[in-house]
Amino acid sequence: MACWVGVALVWLLVSAGWPPATWLDRLASPGDGGAWVSPGSPLWEPLLLIEDAFGPDGITTLVILLAIGLLAFGRGRLALVTLVTPLLVSGATTLVKNGVGRDRPAWQDADGFLESYSFPSAHASSTATLLGLLFVLVLFAVPAPTWRRLALGALVLVQVVVCLDRVLLGRHYPTDTVAGTLLGVGFVLVAVALYPPTGAGEPAPAPRRGRRGRRPEPEGRRLAVVLNPVKVSDVDAFLDQVTTVARTHGWAAPRLYLTTIEDPGPGMTRAALADGAELVLVCGGDGTVREVCATLAGTGVPVGIVPAGTGNLLARNLDIPLYRRPALECALGGETRAVDLVAVRGDGLEETHFLVMAGMGLDAAIMESVNEEFKARVGWLAYVVSGVKSMMFPTIRLEISVDGGEFTTHRARMAVVGNVGYLTAGMPLLPDAAIDDGLLDVVLLYPRGLLSWVPLAARVLLRQRHTDDLVNRMTGRTITLRSQHEVPRQLDGDPCGKGRELEMTCLPGELLVRVPGEKPFPLNVAAVVNSRLAGTAGRE
């Protein structure tokens, strides 16, 4: 939604003659009445090739090939999203073009002269849609951080090149390409929110013989799986998939422990330890992951995380893949890393722990007001809706003590204490936070009015480190927050009830977690295809 608002904002700024927008559009011409590149220039032919490659025919061909590839791996829903989203973007681009009615730059060359409207760029919107879909697939399917960053960087570079191509040929103003990119990205974000690539809605594979409890136990290291059964559509198929990956990495067939409403993980984890587990896999949302990790802390038994929630913030900050098969490869064949855990006490709370972030104020109010049914349908977009409704949460007066020092008084709408730095979509709320540095990072946000959110967001996104009343930061091993009145509180995204105090202590290196190594995990395409032909594969 924010991207679409951005499209409207770009046009409003252009039509109002806002100086920075006008200056940007003037860059589309060197000032001699022509385009930057004209026929006969060394760049002319390469730019025309790019124009053709990412034109309607080229994009259509690439979209169809991507959809066919997804179908070949049994990803029918993703293939449908891949086909439908570009069609919606094309229609939306045409509607906006006709509604705005902006003429093309006068300096475009007669060779390939375009008479259709200019704003937004259809090349930019369609390319952003295709690359955005690929961007999401890379995030979910490529487990190794180095390879994933290279792939994502390459996709961003291609979008920049296509936008430059439109400007250098004189086909568009720069603001046309910015708006087109925002339009395409907006549709991709909505598509991903409605139909997550984790495949939660894919039909379950056909059942087969050899279900849990009747599977022969191969020799190998002992493996336990703590599963929130609500998070998978077919428990047996999931266990089959874990067993297949486990055998390739020398682990015995897993022993399964299902969480319940009454016991979200600690009891199952203790039972797994009592049974001699050498590695515990946890599959569930952030709440389940937190409970299992807290129980494993200090035992020396590592945890492997198979994220299946909405936020999955711990997995994101540890570069653990969000797609099931690569996440299993990471857990069973990755490296072990010691990370910090945070002990928490507070009024009305039993002593507990968190791994990601704790907060008082606005962020906790957002978590409290999220409609669970709506979240199940649209994923993290539910937090956006809740955030808009809670944006002007009342100011709270906080007293803060760092490492047992004197309390200082502050005003804020929200206070977040983080063991990691990044939120969903890579927002660097606490850019200096590290999960293995033995320190906690604190940020206080105090936007006084609605418009104050704009500079606040800019400072967070640009990772500006200077502090003032708008954004204040602190660091320490022990952090205590006190409020004069009861306010909402949250631990790892789960509301933990209103209260006046949170006391948090970092426990360095308390937990062992399986994380990706630098080498990419083998995709093992043959194994996937063979298992699907046999009707045995779970979601990949």
Q: Compute CA distances 387 → 31, 109, 356, 371, 392, whole Å.
A: 45, 47, 19, 12, 9
The whole-angstrom separation of Cα 53 and Cα 165 is 11
117-126, 186-195, 351-360, range with the lowest pLDDT: 186-195
The per-residue pLDDT for 521 is 42
Domain count of the chain? 3
Select, from the ranges 23-27, 168-172, 257-261, 534-538, the one with the highest average predicted confidence (pLDDT).
257-261
Amino acid 376: pLDDT: 65
- Residue-averaged pLDDT of the chain: 81
**C-alpha span between 538 and 529 (Å, rounded):** 11
318 lies in the same domain as 444: no
Distance of CA 19 to the CA centre of its chain: 35
Work out the number of other CB atoms within 10 angstroms of the CB of residue 412.
25
Instruction: Kindly tell me if the per-residue pLDDT of 385 is higher than 60.
Output: yes
- The confidence score (pLDDT) of residue 50 equals 85
Mean pLDDT confidence for 402-408: 94
Please tell me what DSSP assigns to residue 479. Answer: E
Given this model, what pLDDT does residue 467 score?
A: 82
Q: What is the pLDDT of residue 527?
A: 35
Distance separating alpha carbons of residues 207 and 227, to the nearest angstrom: 19
Residue 90 token pair: 């094309």
| 114 band by pLDDT with thresholds 50, 70 and 90 | low
Neighbours of 230 (CB within 10 A): 14
441, 453 in Cβ contact below 8 A?
A: no
Residue 25's identity, in one-letter code, is D
Q: Is the pLDDT of residue 391 over 50?
A: yes
Same domain, 190 and 246: no
Q: Are residues 11 and 89 in the same domain?
A: yes
User: Does 526 lie in the same domain as 487?
Assistant: no
Does residue 30 share a domain with residue 172?
yes
Residue 246 belongs to some domain of the structure: yes
List helix spans (H) across 359-518: 362-369, 372-378, 381-389, 453-461
In whole angstroms, what is the distance from residue 512 CA to residue 77 CA?
36
Residue 532 has pLDDT above 50, yes or no: no
Residue 374 belongs to some domain of the structure = no
- The pLDDT of residue 506: 95
Does 180 share its domain with 315? no
Please indicate, yes or no, if residue 385 is contained in any of the structural domains: no
Confidence at residue 455, expressed as pLDDT on a 0 to 100 scale: 85
> Which structural domain range is residue 504 located in?
349-360+391-508
pLDDT interval class at 202 (50, 70, 90) = very low
| Residues 145 and 11 reside in one and the same domain | yes
Q: How much is the pLDDT for 304? A: 95
> Do residues 266 and 408 both lie within one domain?
no
In a domain, 209, yes or no: no
User: Does residue 227 share a domain with residue 100?
Assistant: no
For residues 85 and 164, membership in a common domain is answered with yes
Distance in angstroms (rounded) separating the CA atoms of residues 328 and 244:
10
CATH of the domain at 478: 2.60.200.40
pLDDT above 90 coverage of the chain, percent: 31
Encode pLDDT of 446-494 as tens digits: 888 777 778 888 888 777 777 888 899 999 999 999 998 999 999 988 8
pLDDT band at 526 (very low <50, low <70, confident <90, very high): very low
Residue 185: count of CB within 10 angstroms of its CB: 23
Residue 152 has pLDDT above 70, yes or no: yes
Give the contacts of 231 (CB within 8 A, at least 6 positions apart): 283, 284, 285, 288, 308, 309
In a domain, 162, yes or no: yes
Q: Rounded to whole angstroms, how far apart are CA atoms 15 and 98?
A: 15
pLDDT tens digits for range 325-345 = 889 999 998 899 999 999 999
Q: Are 118 and 44 in contact (CB under 8 A)?
A: no
State the CATH number of the domain containing residue 184: 1.20.144
H-run or E-run covering 266: helix 266-274
Are residue 129 and residue 11 in the same domain, yes or no? yes
Gap between the Cα atoms of 27 and 142, Å rounded: 38
d(CA 204, CA 162): 40
CATH of the domain at 228: 3.40.50.10330
**pLDDT range class, residue 99, cuts 50, 70, 90:** confident
pLDDT bucket at 204, cuts 50 / 70 / 90: very low
Q: Is residue 420 part of a domain?
A: yes
Inform me whether the pLDDT recorded for 529 exceeds 60: no
Is residue 133 pLDDT above 80, yes or no? Answer: yes
Average pLDDT of the segment spanning 264-278:
93
In a domain, 106, yes or no: yes
Residue 342 domain flag: no
Same domain, yes or no, for 314 and 396?
A: no
pLDDT over 80 at 230, yes or no: yes
- Answer whether residue 504 shows pLDDT above 90: yes
The pLDDT confidence band at residue 518, using thresholds 50, 70 and 90, is: low
Percent of the chain with pLDDT over 70: 82
- Mean pLDDT for 355-379 is 80
